[in-house]
Amino acid sequence: MRDFLLVLAVFAACVVETVEALTIVLAVGVTRGWRSTLRGVAAGWVVLVIIVAALGPALTVIPINALRLVVGGLLLIFGLGWLRKAILRASGFKALHDEDAIYERQRREAEQTAPAPRAVLGDAYAFTLAFKGVLLEGLEVVFIVLTFGANQHNIPLAAVGALAAVALVTGVGFAARAPLARVPENTLKFTVGVVLTSFGVFWGVEGAGGRWPGSDLALLAVIVGVLVLALAAVNVLRRAHANPTAVNHVAVGA
């Protein structure tokens, strides 16, 4: 059960990050050309592989309770960040994430920037933007794979979920040559936020020495509990959004 949820959570989270990275790569590649763009993608992957090779073995030697406590805390922070934004979007306080709009913005910026060719990089702008997109979104994928995998002492299993997500999104994206706007990313981010927050709570308690009734089955109860609280928050904020006089009483950030 825990292995299945591990792969599912990693897969869903990595789909989100890959969609965001691919949107940048496609916009730059279509507008500026593919040679320098793909060089930037390759350079980003090289850096990510080096990071995984350096950090992966180190995480596996940390005592399991200490690792679960640290990972649980990090996932709780990470998951709550995603969940907070998803709740604000679902309630109307924050604009929905629109990959089409992001794609068009990236494409316009790429068109308006004059080429800056260099011998190694080719088009330096295309190389840098592709490299940055792959590296930044890839770092989140690496974080998810290493934390989930190390906690379960099964980084290869977490990597399978990540690679499946990257392969699926990349294949569909390049086949369509367009942003994956049909992927329900806002719903996906809400779901992933719930799952990451739930894993954070579950592993944090275990790392602190607590024991859950029913062992792994308790994780399902935690997920349901977090989901119910998140949906309740959406309902409350929707009412506040519909009533302008109540907006001042709701703390909303970017």
What is the mean pLDDT of the segment spanning 113-118?
A: 55
Task: State the pLDDT confidence band at 185, using cuts at 50, 70 and 90.
Answer: low
Range from 3-7, 23-27, 104-108, 171-175 carrying the lowest mean pLDDT = 104-108
**What is the Cα–Cα distance from 31 to 19, expressed in whole angstroms?**
18
Give me the pLDDT at residue 17, please: 78
Residue 226 is predicted with a pLDDT of 92
The predicted-structure confidence for 130-170, as pLDDT tens digits, reads as follows 888 888 778 878 877 877 777 777 778 888 888 888 888 88
- Supply the pLDDT for residue 254: 45
Per-residue pLDDT tens for 6-40? 788 788 878 877 877 887 788 777 777 788 888 98
- Tell me the percentage of the chain whose pLDDT exceeds 70: 76
Q: Would the pTM of this model clear 0.85, i.e. be above it?
A: no
Summarised one tens digit per residue, pLDDT across range 48-83 is 888 777 776 666 566 767 767 777 787 788 788 878
pLDDT, tens digit (0-9, with 9 covering 90-100), for 198-253: 888 887 888 888 888 877 678 888 989 999 999 999 888 888 877 766 545 544 44
pLDDT over 70 at 90, yes or no: yes
Q: pLDDT band at residue 124, thresholds of 50, 70 and 90? A: confident
Give the per-residue pLDDT at 43.
92
Length of the chain: 254
